[in-house]
Structure 1
């Protein structure tokens, strides 16, 4: 606040004897003004407007010295609600031309005016401090709420990402297990087909070998049977030939025996005939010749029959 001596430097010099009277007068005027202000107080808006007008009219250098409240800091992550706009600066009101008055009355008016300005400034500063504290508290609450909200959103996002990652990992694992199972089944199928093919080829080979062995056995048995039949036929033929030869020999022997018997019978008959004819010529000689002849005939007959036999 500017000093009183600076404001009154162009006023006429004061007399030392009247200082006490001026002090009493100022005190009386101050009490009177305080009583009037206490009794009749205008609305707050009108008072602020009047104070602002008085500040701009009579104490422009002092008002310029007051620094405006700093703007709230902007948050880095996300834009925050815009700070409330500063109160409109009232336009400077032209100061009324003071009417000439006696020196003591002007001094009292200046002191009163300075007291009002100081009170208004104090109230304004307190109001600004209060508003600034409220603004900072509100911004702090908003910042904390925003940070908490961002933290919760971050946690939810991380939770969702973890859940999504777990789901993707599960799907990948299921896919890998399915592919591995399919590959295993495919390998087992190929191995089984290979085993079945080998078993089939082995069975076919064994069947071919078995059929071949059976054919060879059948051929051998057939050859043996044919050989046995042939040998049997040859034996039968040989036996038949031998029997035929034996039968022929027996027949020839029988025929020869029968022929020999017939010849002997014929010889005997002939001898009998010859003996009957000799008996008629003499009995002695007949007996002798006949006996001899019979003997000779018997000898001749036996001799002749010998070869025959």
Structure 2
């Protein structure tokens, strides 16, 4: 007994409302069964009833009496005889026309024929007149169209001639301008070439005078009226000489004349070969040396001549 008591003590408590839940479930099932039963009963069909009936006539109908016998038709009466028409009398022959009637008829026919001929003649003349007027009208229209066409062609030719004249004039003006520009450029180039040649000759003479030996291969200076100092050519040569890089074998003594333009502080602005040495590698080496130099030294008076012609040869720039 003790183990049973311990088991009951540790058993879970009963859930409250179990009886009420069972009662509600049973009630719901009963309602469902009732609804199904009522639905099945409504779907039943009533069997059709069978009825028999016999038809009887209310009043008897008597037979119709036989038709009466036909009466014989009476004989038709004979038709009355037709009346005989009277024989027509022959008409009297017409009277022969007289000579006057014949002449009058001929005169009427002649007049009628003349009228018809006159009418035909008038119609012919009217038709000829209409044709003539139509031909004249067509000719006038054709002449008018031809005149308009000729005027248009003439205007087109005049316009073409004007355009051609204007084009020729413009071409001549353009050719003249081109020739003038070419002449101006040629004169300018010639003047510049002459100026450079004069400058080169002056530099050669001046450098020869500075060297005291007549050597024209010394470093040049600017072409100014006052002239550079005696030591300026040596200073330029000393400035450019370390920047010359030339590793090829030198044949002879190629001399390049380089035109240099510089700012007042000595900065080189531009350089070009004024007269080539005939050795392209030496010309390139001279230009590269001037580019590496960058700035030219100033003269004793603090100025830098520009433009100047620098004469560069292997003997003056590389040799001792």
- Tell me which protein shows more helix as a share of its residues: 1
TM range (shorter): 0.3 to 0.5
Normalising to structure 1: TM-score of the pair?
0.39
Choose 1 or 2 for highest CA Rg: 1
